[in-house]
Amino acid sequence: MSFLENIPPTLSELGFDTFFSSRLSSPDAIDRVARVAVEHRSRYVVVSPRGAEDAVLAGRLRHEAHQSTDLPRVGDWVELVRGHTLDGLAVIESVLPRRTLFARRAAGESKEPQVIAANVDVVLIVSSMSASDDARVQRRGINVRRLERYSTAVRRSGALPVFVINKCDLSSEHEALDEIREIAEDARVIMTSAVSGAGLDELRAEIGTGRTVALVGSSGVGKSALTNRLLGREVELVGAVRGDDERGRHTTTHRELFVLPGGGLLIDTPGMRELGLWWESGSDETGFEDIERLGRECRFRDCRHAGEPGCAVVDAIERGELDEERLSSQQKLERELAFERRKVDPLARSRAQRELKRRARDYRRRDKLRQS
């Protein structure tokens, strides 16, 4: 298999630790544990110290799944049963609880998310420099507002974000680096070139033995090229971008987990045109610590930063210490998360309805006072 080379890795090299061992169904299940490397329509490829092998889903697990997220996804740890099928395939009997789950809102009206990867420690958010003089093309390569969205989704998943600006050999104008550092908060920002090899040592430093990282970003930013460089061999197709607008094509068609030769694991993902936020209880981090820090200085505890007196956030914008677009971005993402939460949380829906009724009463009361 393309994700394994030479000697099969140990469980610890695959990222198995005490978090997962404490969640096994029984102590002897450790001999039956494996990690999902590739997910196909009806089969999986799993990897363990025995090597890579094909597996199918147990019928009981499929029927008892309440939603699609209950089924195994790339990065998941599973327990297998071997030798019970005529064709010798392993059978996935259970999925171990996840440490992190990076997902996005599925297209359409579905209430279920689309899982990008499970049990990821670090997400490398890849954007790219541009050789074009067209400002619109440049913004497509590095879109700060889109990167804020990625950062919010990653932080809420429980993983750590790292901003990767690829193709740094295409331009000597690195003004975008300052913009990204302003929104990065505590996250690292790394300049790379899959062509020249610049920044790859820094990137490898983020991937230690047993640590799982995922590459995410739009098509054409060079994720597949970075994957090939980190693996030291050609395993992913690398597509050219169009010369007029530098739009990329989808060369990665499925998610796949690779074991890196220097230690660590890498999940390459297809390019994403959009990343709709998905709400799940857990981490409340959004990557807007600067606004949250200012918000704690507002006169009113429930200040919405919309013109209330004594608003420290608005004051910071007026002093030029905070970009107004950043506040608009945060508020937009918060509204999106609140909307997604109301879809799945009856209590949140009830609170929202009560708030709407309260505002309607206040509006009618103010209207009567104006008329009197």
Q: Are 48 and 14 in contact (CB under 8 A)?
A: yes
> pLDDT per residue over 208-247, tens digit each?
889 999 999 988 888 989 999 999 876 554 544 444 444 4
The model's confidence at residue 284, banded by pLDDT at 50, 70 and 90, is: low
So what's the pLDDT on residue 6? Answer: 63
Which span out of 14-28, 230-244, 257-271 was modeled with the highest average pLDDT? 14-28
So what's the pLDDT on residue 248? Answer: 43
Helix/strand/coil percent split, the chain, to 5: 35, 20, 45
- Total Cβ atoms within 10 A of residue 164: 29
Tell me the pLDDT of the chain averaged across its residues: 84
Burial class (CB in 10 A: 0-12, 13-18, 19+), 308: middle
So what's the pLDDT on residue 132? Answer: 54
In DSSP notation, 41-110 reads SS-EEEEETTEEEEEEE-HHHHHH-SSGGGS--TT-EEEEE-S-STT--EEEEEEPPPS-EEEEEPSTT-
Instruction: For the chain, list the domains and their CATH numbers.
Output: 18-95 (2.40.50.140), 101-268 (3.40.50.300), 289-371 (1.10.40.50)
> pLDDT per residue over 300-320, tens digit each?
888 889 888 999 999 999 999
Q: Provide mean pLDDT across the span 342-369.
A: 70
pLDDT tops 80 at residue 368:
no
The model's confidence at residue 8, banded by pLDDT at 50, 70 and 90, is: confident
The model's confidence at residue 298, banded by pLDDT at 50, 70 and 90, is: very high
**Which residues touch 24 (CB under 8 Å, ≥6 apart)?**
30, 33, 79, 96
Phi and psi at 188, nearest 5°, equal: -80, 150
The model's confidence at residue 253, banded by pLDDT at 50, 70 and 90, is: low
What are the CA-CA distances from residue 176 to residues 70, 182, 286, 316 (Å)? 39, 10, 21, 22
Identify the residue whose tokens are 């302003």.
182
Instruction: Give the pTM.
Output: 0.81
Q: Are 33 and 16 in contact (CB under 8 A)?
A: yes
So what's the pLDDT on residue 264? Answer: 93
So what's the pLDDT on residue 279? Answer: 75
So what's the pLDDT on residue 67? Answer: 84
So what's the pLDDT on residue 345? Answer: 66
> pLDDT per residue over 83-138, tens digit each?
777 688 999 999 999 999 999 887 666 667 889 999 999 999 999 887 555 555 55
CA 9 vs. chain centroid, Å, equals 25
Lowest mean pLDDT among 37-46, 237-246, 335-344: 237-246
* CA gap 4, 14 in Å, rounded: 11
* CA gap 39, 75 in Å, rounded: 10
> pLDDT per residue over 44-94, tens digit each?
999 999 999 999 999 999 899 888 889 999 999 999 998 777 688 999 999
So what's the pLDDT on residue 241? Answer: 45
